[in-house]
Amino acid sequence: MPGRKPITVALLGCGTVGTEVVRLLTDQAADLTARVGAPVELTGIAVRKPNKHREVPAELLTTDVDALVESDVDVVVEVVGGIEPARTWLLKALKAGKSVVTANKALLAEHSGELFEAADASGADLYFEAAVAGAIPLLRPLRESLAGDRITRVMGIVNGTTNFILSGMDSTGAGYSETLEEATRLGYAEADPTADVDGFDAASKAAILASLAFHSRVTAADVHREGIASVSAADIAAAKGLGRTVKLLAICERVTENATEGISVRVHPAMIPRSHPLAGVNGAFNAVFVEADAAGEMMFYGKGAGGAPTASAVLGDLVAVARNRVVSGRGPRESAYAALPVRPMGQTPTKYHISLDVADRPGVLSQVAAVFAEHDVSIAAVRQEGRVDDASLVIVTHAATDAALRSTVDKIGGLPVVREVVSVMRVEGEES
């Protein structure tokens, strides 16, 4: 496109993802020009320590982020992470009319409303495909392709570290600690894995997914969160015995109570049938299962993290906002018109798998069943294993409110015939 003014880009951050963004911008420069309709020119890269980035042109590097954001650029790409100072930088860019591409899930899960308001006020674009599930095209289908449909449920594996650990426990029979150690050794888990194994990463992504799917503002604080540290080898074995496997799931769904619609957003480990599409997602891969009224069931699968996969999603967004700049158009704005309330976890319908260490004598089952009846919780299946000192009772419930199920488990734990509540895990992916 001779004479076409370049679309100029400032990059904030040049770690694993940022380095791949620079590489793709360089290697695919001619193709990007053809796809956008104008050259895409990287004019600056903000880093903390320029001498550690010898793989990129030195003349592009700067430590003055504010000056770069305030410079005459068209698009700001942020791959730094964290909430501050990223929030301040991106708000400044949006208020100045610069389009923003970000991979920052934590920031979006807390402040997407504020960022969208700034974008709307200035007419700028805000794109963030890379914030959830890496290279998998997921957010744009929710935001655009399914905009004419009514999404009822989004359920997925959105954290590769925890999926690698649970997959390893399932395939080897090893416990949580040794599998986490192996994941760390192989580079699938950080030295401090808290954000992953305690569910914080998945909760941020669940908030973003729920916001898009249900046209409502949802923050990370709205998401019920449980991690995988309490999942034992015995839980995995019990799941196998029932034809199930255990996954850390992000679940966003519409729920109706007393004719009033709301949404439930939660992250927790759960047993799912091995026949479910998500059951075969192993290793560090991600997958998200979407259900909609007209489109039916869909699954999005692929690499959910890593430098090159995440950079692929960043470049896809960059092409979109650059095209909009060329034709003086705009991408989709925030859609939060529904403003559905987020239901507390206690009001959410769930199902439990409960394993009890019990005394092997007459009347045990009737005493346990009485507690379920008292809390109006229906039993779907029950199985007794072992005898005398090794006796155990395994119960799977029908759907009931999580509060009723939790109260049931608490009371059962106090029965004289129950020596220990060995494990409690939710069950998903089956008909009620």
- The alpha carbon dihedral of 41, 43, 45, 50 has a sign of positive
Give every CB contact of residue 376 below 8 A, 6+ residues apart in sequence.
Answer: 400, 404
Give every CB contact of residue 260 below 8 A, 6+ residues apart in sequence.
Answer: none
Question: What residues act catalytically?
Answer: 205
For 168, other C-beta atoms within 10 Å of its C-beta total: 22
Query: What are the backbone angles phi and psi of residue 241, rounded to the nearest 5°?
Result: -65, -25
Tokens 């309709």 label which residue? 37
- Contact between residue 286 and residue 133 where contact means Cβ atoms under 8 Å apart: yes
Question: What are the structure tokens assigned to 296, written together?
Answer: 């039916």
SS in 3 state form for the chain? Answer: CCCCCCEEEEEECCCHHHHHHHHHHHHCHHHHHHHHCCCEEEEEEECCCHHHCCCCCHHHEECCHHHHHHCCCCEEEECCCCCCCHHHHHHHHHHCCCEEEECCHHHHHHHHHHHHHHHHHHCCCEECHHHCCCCCCCHHHHHHHCCCCCEEEEEEECCHHHHHHHHHHHHHCCCHHHHHHHHHHCCCCCCCCHHHHCCHHHHHHHHHHHHHHHCCCCCHHHCEECCCCCCCHHHHHHHHHCCEEEEEEEEEEEEEECCEEEEEEEEEEEEEECCCHHHHCCCCEEEEEEEECCCEEEEEEEECCCHHHHHHHHHHHHHHHHHHHHHCCCCCCCCCCCCCCECCHHHCEEEEEEEEEECCCCCHHHHHHHHHHHCCCCEEEEEEECCHHHCEEEEEECCEEHHHHHHHHHHHCCCCCEEEEEEEEEECCCCC
Tokens 């620079």 label which residue? 22
